[in-house]
Amino acid sequence: MKIELKLNSKGQSNGGFMKARWLTLFASVPLIVGTMLLQSCGGVGGPTSSKTNPGTNAPSQAFLALMTAEQKASKYIGPESCNASACHGGSATPAHGGMKLASFNTKKANAAGGGQFGEWQQTVHFTKGVSCENCHGPGGAHQAAPKNADGTAHAILTYPKITSPEVCGQCHGPIHDDWKISKHSELIASPISSTVTNPASSGQTSRCFLCHGGLARAQYMEAGVDPSQMTTAQIVQCANDILNTVPYTASCATCHDPHAKTGNLTGAGKEVQLYHPETLTDSSAIAPGTTPAQYTAANQICGQCHNGRGTTATDAYLTANTSRPSVHHSNQLNSLLGVGGSETASGPPQRSGTHALTPGQCATCHMPKSRHTMTVSVDGGCQPCHTASDAATRAATLKAEVVNNLVALSSRMGSWAQTTLGDPTFWDYTSNIASGKTAPKQSLIPIEVKRARHNYYYVVTSGDYGVHNPAYTRYLLQVAANNLNSLGVPAMKPQDLAAIPMPVKLQQIQQVRKSASSSDVD
């Protein structure tokens, strides 16, 4: 039995929910056992399996699970009904209480003309027959009774569940499955839990939940609501929703506007409805000393979170702040643009390199062919600039160089601490000193060591072993080495460095990065 699911002129389904192009579904029913082929997304949806993660459950089953029984049983009403003047017809204050379609910026749409309905009609979703109810679920029960007693939307998918990746995964199956095995699909719970218990600090001031929980950006920031404008109750509710309902660092709706073209094209010139551009060469939003309100609003789709959180390396700052590294464990955009390290008075001879000027920046290398695992592979992410063998050789050579320099730097700082303070770990920040030891007074640690340890952690926490910006990475490591030279700290003998196996060196660096990350978020 073959059933074709299509949308009529009102955007109504003739009997089911979106599925990928010709997904084979095996089902047993009392009278019929057969194979049903479902078609939707205007007949052009992708398969729901992935070469990188085979055997996963069909996202549409998870989509159904998002709905209440009442909504699943209700009828489709079509996009024109959603667009009625009494409902979501472009008015910021519709008759039934001011609610608007989740994740849709009504103010932006009205300014552009045509309201939310007109904006949607300009998107690829419209041309593919994907309308309101394909994502929000059937709207019949919602139309009949729009609000619950507490004022929340009734019988329709809205926040927080509308940001569930299963909504988009109905059509974008391979992308969904790639995302599922990426770090974005995971959650570091501690900063979100901290937002629940300390909403003023972790929510409004530090804004941890903006980058550690994708819902916060989708529901508030991209709708024009700054955390400083949120109530305590809203911050706590949002954080609890992240912990309990959509536990992801970032999902589809964190980066993409599902309702409108944005003009933020990819490096290849494609419109994929990104909230922010892929490329940023102005480092002012992430410069040393910037505030959470500035660096969490950096106008780069990846860099708004993947930055060093205002990391500062002036002598005054390094002297006054000695508990933990000032650089956040996500300083990739800082590294790419070459800002935030402890520098000489004249600055680096080269601040940024070719990778910063590559159209698409992060996405070009980390997301070739829209691969949402976010991992780099030399056979895809480095082309056409490099052949696979050239990229692999360059990366391996640079990695070995940087790892050796980091290990030598750590060893030299340890040698200084042993000689001066009687313990090889006492060069470190106080929060990194092992339990049971009493950290030394930081006034005993000269500024040269403080500069060196800042650059050490800057390079370690970036996690790229210099690939983002080889010139700036080498410069920071040389500045650190020169500071130790000025104290007369002996260089590590080449034969001693070579005697340490590379896997042991890598394990050491990776453990330092892991420890620094844990210290940063706890």
Strand partners, 256: 274
pLDDT (mean) for 502-511: 95
pLDDT (mean) for 134-139: 94
Whole-model pTM? 0.84
As given in the structure block, the two tokens for residue 428 are: 């470190």
Which of residues 88 and 306 earns the better pLDDT score?
306
As given in the structure block, the two tokens for residue 377 are: 């592979």
The helix (run of H) or strand (run of E) holding residue 117 is helix 115-121
Asked if 413 and 484 count as a contact pair (C-beta separation under 8 A), the reply is yes
According to the model, what pLDDT value does residue 141 have? Answer: 96
Alpha-carbon distances, residue 229 vs 220, 225, 234, 267, 456 (angstroms)? 10, 6, 10, 34, 37
According to the model, what pLDDT value does residue 110 have? Answer: 46
Asked if 208 and 194 count as a contact pair (C-beta separation under 8 A), the reply is yes
In 10 A of CB 42, how many CB atoms? 19
Percentage, residues of the chain above pLDDT 90:
76
**Backbone region of residue 137 per phi and psi (left: phi > 0; alpha: psi in -120 to 50; beta: other values):** left
Alpha helix stretches (DSSP H) within 269-343: 292-295, 315-320, 332-337
Q: Residues of 302-330 as b/e, b for ≥16 C-beta within 10 angstroms?
A: bbbbbbbbbbbbeeebbeeebeebbbbbb
The helix (run of H) or strand (run of E) holding residue 109 is helix 106-112
Alpha helix stretches (DSSP H) within 271-359: 292-295, 315-320, 332-337, 354-357
Q: How far apart are the first and last CA of the chain?
A: 55
Burial status of residue 51 (CB atoms within 10 A of its CB: 0-12, 13-18, 19 or more): exposed
| pLDDT surpassing 60 at residue 4 | no
pLDDT tens digits, one per residue of 414-434: 999 999 999 999 999 999 999
* Mean pLDDT rounded to a whole number for the chain: 85
| pLDDT surpassing 90 at residue 2 | no
User: Using 50, 70 and 90 to split pLDDT, how confident is the model at 518?
Assistant: low
Question: Phi and psi of 28, rounded to 5°?
Answer: -105, 130
pLDDT (mean) for 15-24: 34
Q: Which residue do the tokens 């009997």 mark? A: 15
pLDDT tens digits, one per residue of 367-414: 999 999 999 888 888 989 999 999 999 999 999 999 999 999 999 999
| pLDDT surpassing 90 at residue 492 | yes
The rounded distance, in Å, linking the Cα atoms of 114 and 283 is 36
User: Where are the chain's structural domains?
Assistant: 23-180, 183-255, 284-521
pLDDT tens digits, one per residue of 189-201: 999 999 999 999 9
According to the model, what pLDDT value does residue 520 have? Answer: 52
pLDDT tens digits, one per residue of 337-364: 999 999 999 999 999 999 999 999 999 9
**Backbone region of residue 448 per phi and psi (left: phi > 0; alpha: psi in -120 to 50; beta: other values):** alpha
